[in-house]
């Protein structure tokens, strides 16, 4: 009976040992887990659809609120369109307001061709042409910067109130479209908690607010203002902005 040479036997056992060590490495393992059935997937997609639909249909009204107080100082953002300005004048004539204050920043394009240089002055002229006495109108012009212009306009308003020694603490802010919620937030941050700020978000003249999603400008406005509101709410810090 023949036997393997000792050298070959040694090689055999070495190879076998290496294979056993390799096989002991846990490269894969068996697991048991739960998976959605088709009913589960249907329920999940249904819930997601409902959430998406509620957000989709409610986002505009969230961004364009109307809430009191609607008295005190009537604050008009200077860039609003003529129809919105006419409605603001109706508020002023029918309501209990002490002054109209036009806010805004300098006009960037072609202001050297105009007799006025800011949206605040522009709207003050529009109000005068529509029969509002000049002694009822004040203007607040914010600094022209690349960002945070609504906030800077609000800061200019705060400085004007201090300069004119106006002690009224209730404001009614007039703006248009989905800009409303962000605008009120930034005015509140600039003026402080001692002021009560009401808001009226009038319709944008370029699209139907009930069907904003059917207009390219409406879609852009809602998307832009959603992002801008999140930034203003959670990432914008006025103290840091003013110190720059």
Q: Give a three-class secondary structure readout of the chain.
A: CCCCCHHHHHHHHHHHHHHHHHHHCCCCCCCCCCCCCHHHHHHHHHHHHHHHHHHHHHHHHHHCCEECCCCEEEEEECCCCHHHHHHHHHHHHHCCEEEEEEEECECCCCHHHCCCCEHHHHHHHHHHHCCCCHHHEEEEECCCCCCCHHHHHHHHHHHHHHHCCCCCCEEEEEEEHHHHHHHHHHHHHHHCCCCEEEEEEECCCCCCHHHHHHCHHHHHHHHHHHHHHHHHHHHCCHHHHHHC
pLDDT for position 17: 60
pLDDT for position 241: 45
pLDDT for position 6: 53
pLDDT for position 96: 95
Q: Is the pTM here over 0.75, yes or no?
A: yes
Which stretches of the chain drop beneath a pLDDT of 50?
Answer: 4, 9, 12, 240-241, 243-244
Over residues 28-43, the pLDDT tens digits come to 666 677 788 888 888 7
- The domain limits of the chain are 66-243
pLDDT for position 146: 84
In CATH, 66-243 is 3.40.309.10: no
């Amino acid at each position: 009976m023949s036997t393997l040479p000792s050298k070959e036997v040694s090689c055999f056992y070495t190879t076998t040992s290496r294979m056993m060590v390799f096989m002991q490495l846990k490269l894969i393992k068996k697991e048991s887990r739960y998976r959605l059935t088709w009913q589960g997937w249907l329920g999940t997609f249904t819930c997601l659809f409902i959430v998406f639909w509620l957000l989709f249909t409610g986002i505009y009204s969230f961004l364009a609120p109307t809430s009191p107080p609607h008295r005190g100082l009537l604050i008009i953002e200077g860039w609003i369109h003529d129809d919105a300005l006419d409605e603001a004048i109706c508020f002023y004539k029918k309501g209990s307001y002490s002054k109209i204050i036009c806010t805004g920043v300098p006009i960037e394009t072609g202001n050297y061709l105009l007799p006025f240089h800011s949206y605040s002055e522009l709207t003050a002229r529009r109000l005068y042409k529509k029969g509002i006495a000049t002694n009822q109108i004040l203007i607040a012009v914010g600094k022209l910067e690349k960002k945070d212009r609504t906030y800077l306009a609000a800061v200019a308003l705060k400085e004007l109130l201090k300069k004119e020694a106006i002690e009224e603490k209730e404001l009614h802010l007039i703006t248009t479209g989905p800009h409303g919620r962000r605008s009120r937030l930034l005015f509140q941050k600039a003026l402080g908690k001692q002021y009560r700020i009401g808001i009226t978000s009038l319709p944008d003249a370029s699209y139907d607010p009930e069907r904003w999603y059917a207009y390219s400008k409406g879609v852009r406005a809602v998307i832009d203002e959603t992002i801008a509101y999140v930034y203003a709410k959670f990432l914008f810090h006025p103290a840091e902005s003013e110190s720059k």
